[in-house]
Amino acid sequence: MSISNDLDEVSTFIVCPGCKTRSPKDWIVKHMESRTRPRVRRSQVYFRCVICNQTTKIFDKKLIKFIDNEVMKNDEY
């Protein structure tokens, strides 16, 4: 899996709440369509810490948008 350098840099700035380290992270992006507004996609972003294997949801809207765009650029996702 090849992820852009920007996404790798973002991973190292986020501290895992489980083990309190700035370890590498695997990103999980879930897309959901709005029932009230068709064709409006909402993204939920999670990361899984490589060291302690804890999954955490991201709530920062700017970070969600950035990660969603980076993941969508990658053909493997």
Write down the architecture of domain 5-73 according to CATH: Single Sheet (2.20)
Alpha carbon separation from 62 to 2, 19, 38, 71 (Å, rounded)? 22, 24, 23, 14
Query: What band does 1 get if pLDDT is binned at 50, 70 and 90?
Result: very low
The letter for the amino acid at 29 is: V
If you compute the radius of gyration of the chain from its CA atoms, what whole number of angstroms results?
13
Six-digit token string for 51: 């060291």
Per-residue model confidence as pLDDT tens digits over 26-71: 888 887 877 777 777 778 889 999 999 999 999 988 888 888 888 7
Rounded Cα distance, 65 and 20, in Å: 24
Six-digit token string for 11: 């991973």
More confident residue, 74 or 18: 18
